[in-house]
Chains A and B, each alone.
Chain A
Amino acid sequence: MSRSAILGSSLTKKYWMALTGLFLCLFLIAHLAGNLQLLDMSPEGQLKFNAYAKFMTTFPLVKAASYLLYFSILFHAFDGILIAIQNRKARPVRYAKENAGANRSWASSNMALLGTLVLVFLVIHMKHFWFEMHWGDIGTDADGNKDLYTVVAAAFGQSWYVALYVVMMAVLAFHLLHGFQSAFQSLGINHPRYTPMIKNVGVFFAVVVPVLFALIPVWMFVHRA
């Protein structure tokens, strides 16, 4: 394929934005499914979670998927920044008065801001858990697995940390609120029968996934030892 097939035109940039975005949505489901195990704070639950964490960082197929995931996150961010810069250049003089609320949702015109916040959150989030799991000195549990559970429980025992997660999940919700359905439109999927369905699923996804994610730190804070 030619250069234009990668990032050459405004449309190919959108295709990649949509494809990586939808892949990240799939990842959110997998990540959430795994992390909901944290709601079981019994000693057996802790061992189970640590075994799961070990599996996720060592099983070859999951490892391969994780490299695709890192690439998708970076590419989605890079593509998004490129789009935002070009869009800013497309309107060098701003309007003195702009009634944005009349024709578009707040989320749809603030995707770059929301995305940047999510990216900053990801750096903090990965530093605390992903980095610690891979290279940190975190000790082992009764089964000899790295004790990630204790690291998570310690982090979510701090009120400011829980608050940060809850706020950031709200940010993610707004990003998904526009992003989910927008990805389908970018890929040319717009049909009078299916588009209303896609939009409804998008709203459901954008609300339920971040709420469940936010539930984990809140739950662990409330039930902290």
Chain B
Amino acid sequence: MKLKLKIWRQNGPSDKGRMETYPVNDVSEDMSFLEMLDVLNDQLVRDGKDPIAFDHDCREGICGACSLFINGEAHGPGRGITTCQLHMRKFKDGDTIYVEPWRSAAFPVIKDLATNRGAFDRIQAAGGFVSVNTSGNLVDGNAVPIPKDDADKAFDAATCIGCGACVATCPNGSAMLFTAAKVSQLSLLPQGKPERKRRALAMVEQMDKEGFGNCSNTGACEVECPKNISLEHIARLNREYLAATVTKE
């Protein structure tokens, strides 16, 4: 396959950045999108040019490192996949493909297509955990009965890999799906319940502080999420936060 890539190049956080065009030849349809970029980078290095910076790690869809807004969609066309799971057979010979970084005030570009998603870590650190007293009276988690439905929903929420596709896709740049998944995962389980109010308030406060936009229920995040996290979790966060706000002392 021969492709024309239009890729965002930005030398650093303070650089203005611009789209540049790169032709790539000899692309196999069995390559993943990241492997195709590896081929392009090899070519750039051979030509003595600066290779394109992009995030990647496990390359099997579970780490959340790879990002990329491809042809106007987070992780490109296809549902329930990350960019490393996107294969070139999804494109046609001669296609022009736009490749851009996640666009969000809260995810500043480090270089080219790599963004700083530290905002998610700070939301998580604000309350996305269970404080357990480990001084000798620890109860085996399996000894606590949990309804199957709750366990399943908590697990669905826990599949969030924190890639940021929800933010990138949302026309408002909102981080609600991520924050909702993290709040849901814990508030559904007995271990997470004691801190549920404090958690909902603290995580939303941090989310707002990071400069993410306001959710307007477009549902775009749910469609583009590589882990198919449901909008039900956003509704749960809305309930958790409402209850916490109204009963707060």
Contacts and interface: CB of A to CB of B under 8 A. Distances in A.
Interface of A: 1-2, 4-5, 9-15, 83, 86-87, 89-100, 102-105, 108-109, 111, 178, 181-182, 185-190, 192
B238 interface: yes
B217 A11 contact: no
B214 to A, nearest CB: 4
Interface residues of B, number: 50
Contact of B245 (A12, A92, A186): A12
Contacts of B104: 90-91
Given A103-B73, A188-B235, A90 B218 contact: no
A95 B248 CA distance: 40
A95 B173 contact: no
Contact of B214 (A83, A92, A97, A189): A83
B40 interface: no
Instruction: Tell which of B69, B105, B235 has the most Cβ of chain A within 10 Å.
Output: B235
Interface string B171-199: 11110100000000000000000000000
Residue picked from B6, B106, B220, B236, most chain A C-beta under 10 Å: B220
A91 B220 CA distance: 16
B209 to A, nearest CB: 10
Given A90-B174, A94-B103, A108-B219, A187 B238 contact: yes
Counting chain A CB atoms within 10 Å of each CB, which of B6, B17, B69, B242 scores highest? Answer: B242
B72 A95 contact: yes
21 contacts: A10-B213, A10-B215, A87-B171, A87-B174, A90-B104, A90-B211, A90-B213, A91-B103, A91-B173, A95-B69, A95-B100, A96-B6, A96-B100, A102-B72, A103-B219, A104-B219, A104-B223, A178-B217, A181-B217, A182-B217, A187-B238
B169 interface: yes
B103 A185 contact: no
Given A11-B241, A102-B72, A108-B219, 9 more contacts: A9-B204, A9-B245, A10-B174, A10-B207, A11-B245, A91-B171, A96-B19, A103-B219, A187-B242
Contacts, number: 143
B204 A10 contact: yes
Task: Determine chain B's interface SS by DSSP, over half rule.
Answer: mixed
A12 B205 CA distance: 11
A185 B98 contact: no
Contacts of A189: 235
A188 B239 contact: yes
Interface in B34-78: 69, 71-73, 77
B70 to A, nearest CB: 9
Interface string B1-41: 00000101000000001010000000000000000000000
Q: In the complex, which of the residues A5, A12, A87, A189 has the most CB atoms of chain B within 10 Å of its own CB atom?
A: A87
B229 interface: no
B216 A98 contact: no
A9 B72 contact: no
Contact of A185 (B172, B224, B238): B238
A185 B231 contact: yes
A93 B103 contact: yes
Nearest to A185: B217
B219 A97 contact: no
B217 A186 contact: yes
B219 A90 contact: no
